[in-house]
Amino acid sequence: MITDQLLKQIYPFSSASNRLKYLPYLNQYLQDYDITTSQRLCCYLAQIGHESGQLNYSEEIASGKAYEGRKDLGNIEIGDGVKFKGRGLIQITGRSNYARLSKSWTIDLINNPQMLKTPDLAVRSSLWFWKMNKLNDICDSDNFELLTRKINGGLTGLADRLEIYNRCKLYLD
């Protein structure tokens, strides 16, 4: 079980209110998504820690205009870049990911993309992405760079992700 104190140690720049906002959902869902080993938990917390700015953001700060017309993300309609910018603790991005998640959960995220900002769905969407992309397997193979590429598409923020990962290892091993 994750505690507020543990999250505070791992995410020193997080606020108590944000930690407490996400903590019950992390504890509720982690086991359902087979994040049951110290290695998997450290990898997961490091990645969402970076993507969410240590739980400070459940929506990408940028406008999303950079994603406009990105067919690889399924952004085929005018305005899709902004509408389907990164949301949730792992920053689900693009019409195609929102559509896949909508179908998986049978909820309408295409017409209600803001729903991914709610604490429950912010956590669950990160875990859904984790499972859909078989990220536990990458954690188990101990290839942190590949894990980061699968989430980010590159190595943006690798140093920060590794710093958080190393703090996790310190407190969880």
Residues 113 and 123 grouped into a single domain? no
pTM: 0.96
| pLDDT of 30 over the 90 cut | yes
Residues 140 and 163 in one domain: yes
Find the mean pLDDT for residues 27-48. Answer: 97
Question: What's the domain range around 74?
Answer: 65-117
Q: Are residues 42 and 10 in the same domain?
A: yes
Q: Quick check: 100 and 122 in contact, CB under 8 A?
A: no
Q: Do 134 and 96 have their domain in common?
A: no
Domain check: are 42 and 87 in the same one? no
Domain of 42, CATH number, reads: 1.10.530.10
Contacts of 149 (CB under 8 A, 6+ apart): 155
Q: Where would I find the H helices in 31-142?
A: 38-51, 80-83, 95-105, 119-132, 135-140
User: Residue 173: what pLDDT?
Assistant: 79
Do residue 80 and residue 48 come from a single domain?
Answer: no
The mean pLDDT of 49-65, rounded to a whole number, is 97
- pLDDT confidence of residue 82: 98
Instruction: Tell me the per-residue pLDDT of 115-137, one tens digit each, with 9 for 90 and over.
Output: 999 999 999 999 999 999 999 99
**How many independent structural domains does the chain possess?**
2
